[in-house]
Amino acid sequence: MANTPTPHINASPEDFAKTVLMPGDPLRAKFIAETYLEDAKLVNNVRGIQGYTGTYKGVPVTVMASGMGMPSIGIYSYELFNFFDVDNIIRIGSAGAISDDLQLRDIVAGMSACTNSNFAAQYGLPGAYAPTASYKLLKTLTDVADELGTPVTVGSLYSSDTFYDDASSLASWQKMNNVLAVEMEAAALYMTAARAGKNALAICTISDAPLRGESLDAEARQNTFTQMMEIALNTAVKLG
């Protein structure tokens, strides 16, 4: 019995490029497809999780939303890697600054991902797993950013299972100098990629600074993070 379509992705493997750009927001996926891709085709819209495949600079690229949180990206990345023959997923999301050195609209790339999630328990490992990005993707992306003249700060992301956190834990994470920003997906994406033998990376634009009370509005998050989008698109071109 074929694994596709799945309950979450109503498509065939040939509908997807080898590299998928994955924002959390379906409307950000739509914006990228309409703004940057040629001949973009809607390949998935189950539960409003929009996915489009087209070309950028002549190279096939897919952009598909992940929804919010590790359970959601865990489902979509697992299916893309294992059932739809996708090799690379680059999360292009938003994050809240933890480091005082980061300002709104700065771009960060997650070399690794700390987490308060129990996602790794499913693997039954005899220790604590440290989720890391694919070096191939990270090196390619930072080279592209340098070529474009767009600064990218590389370090660790904190992937939180909670958006509203009674423990006020961000101040504790701030003590760890290389933990740059908080988001909600990277750790699960990295673990899923590792288990599948595939490649993953999270790149995020700073949309807010929770410890300083600063934030951008929803429309800005959806439509204006174009530097991050262009870095990811040009990385997909380099990956072929």
Question: What is the extent of the structural domain holding 67?
Answer: 13-226+230-239
Q: What's residue 3's pLDDT? A: 86
Domain count for the chain:
1
Specify if 216 maps to a domain. Answer: yes
CATH number, position 172: 3.40.50.1580
Specify if 6 maps to a domain. Answer: no
pLDDT tens figures, 110-167: 999 999 999 999 999 999 999 999 999 999 999 999 999 999 999 999 999 999 888 7
Distance in angstroms (rounded) separating the CA atoms of residues 100 and 177? 10
What are the catalytic residues? 208
Q: What's residue 62's pLDDT? A: 98
The model's pTM is 0.96
Specify if 107 maps to a domain. Answer: yes
Q: Is 211 exposed, middle or buried (0-12, 13-18, 19+ CB in 10 A)?
A: middle
Distance in angstroms (rounded) separating the CA atoms of residues 110 and 136? 13
Specify if 2 maps to a domain. Answer: no
Specify if 7 maps to a domain. Answer: no
Residue 19 tokens, joined: 């590299």
Distance in angstroms (rounded) separating the CA atoms of residues 189 and 191? 6
- When pLDDT is averaged across residues 4-22 and rounded to a whole number, the result is 95
Element (H, E) at 215: strand 214-215
- When pLDDT is averaged across residues 99-106 and rounded to a whole number, the result is 96
Specify if 37 maps to a domain. Answer: yes
Residue 134 tokens, joined: 């694919």
Specify if 3 maps to a domain. Answer: no
pLDDT mean across residues, the chain: 95
pLDDT tens figures, 56-94: 999 999 999 999 999 999 999 999 999 999 999 999 999
Q: How confident is the model at residue 219 (pLDDT cuts 50, 70, 90)?
A: confident
Specify if 176 maps to a domain. Answer: yes
**Where does residue 48 fall: left (phi above 0), alpha (psi -120 to 50 degrees), or beta otherwise?**
left
Q: What's residue 165's pLDDT? A: 84
Q: What's residue 1's pLDDT? A: 38
Beta strands in 1-64 (DSSP E): 19-22, 38-44, 51-56, 59-64
Q: How confident is the model at residue 224 (pLDDT cuts 50, 70, 90)?
A: confident
Q: What's residue 220's pLDDT? A: 80
Cβ-based neighbours of 51, under 8 Å, separated by 6 or more: 9, 11, 16, 29, 42, 43, 44, 45, 62, 63, 64, 65
- Give Cα 6 distance to the centre of its chain: 21
